Structure 1
């Protein structure tokens, strides 16, 4: 099975945003990245869409949800500060299903660090750009390989 771990697309500048950071939306280029992500994943086997409840994450996978006619399931365990281990736990909870998990840079960074420590990802290959996707393949609840899809 596979998990597509997406770092949300480009959002407005955190320092310039005056409202609740959870409500900070994607920029125009971020919305274009979201559309391109939907195109990229249109033929992939996907069973569920899980996302941080932050607006920028939801907006990142909304075009994919519309195209695939799948609901987005907001998950607090994908919010900023949730930690990389939360992604692994979700993969184990939904074992046997192909997932898209949209989260934040700190969560995906911690996940990558863990995968580097386990020898699944080479440190030199550990990229984490906004809108980028890590495809994690698991066998028996353990990530065995991964590949990176650069941001569209």
Structure 2
């Protein structure tokens, strides 16, 4: 019995310092409608999202189509890179990808963020066997989860992601069988 996880990297958001409440931009809302159109053909059973507003807004159209509310799962929140804003985001992200154990002050290492994301992913695979599940999430945590199941998904892959983006991961129990960009 195969289970499909559709990881959806959120659409473009309007920057605010409020990470949790940052909303989608006008472009983001337009792209979220496209995400809904794409995923309505996939026989989705469940929609789960990070608690961040931009992730919820990206997948809530799919939840409406299937007549269910998006379930909020804190484990899919974005990785906390640093306690304070970093001067050079790209440099800061490069450093944590070069050393999975490294963390900036007050931030999560790749290892700790990956453990958090993988733990909830395994719980979902167990609870919703044989289902098609949309997961509204973020770039870093999504790639860290994918990296756990297949090491080819790393920093180079991270650099190539679009906003939004959809990756369908097909599992046989807990074994990743296939990854397709939708």
Which bracket does the TM-score occupy, shorter chain normalised? 0.7 to 0.9
2: CA distance between counterparts of 1:44 and 1:21? 30
Cα distance in structure 1, aligned partners of 2:174 and 2:11: 28
Residue 136 of structure 1, aligned match among 143, 156, 169: 169
TM-score normalised per structure 1: 0.82
The residue aligned with 2:132 is 98
Task: Please tell me whether residue 2 in structure 1 is matched to residue 4 in structure 2.
Answer: yes
Q: Does 1:148 align with 2:148?
A: no
RMSD after superposition: 2.2
Name structure 2 gaps, 5 residues minimum: 80-112
Residue 132 of structure 1: CA displacement? 0.3
Calculate the TM-score normalised by the size of structure 2: 0.70
What is the deviation of 1:115? 4.0
The equivalent of 2:64 in structure 1 is 66
Structure 1 residues without counterparts, runs of 5 or longer: none
**For the Cα contact (< 8 Å) 2:46–2:63, is it kept in 1?**
no
Contact preservation (8 Å) 1:109, 1:128? no
Q: Which has the larger radius of gyration?
A: 2
User: Could you tell me which residue of structure 2 aligns to residue 109 of structure 1?
Assistant: 143
Residue correspondences, number: 143
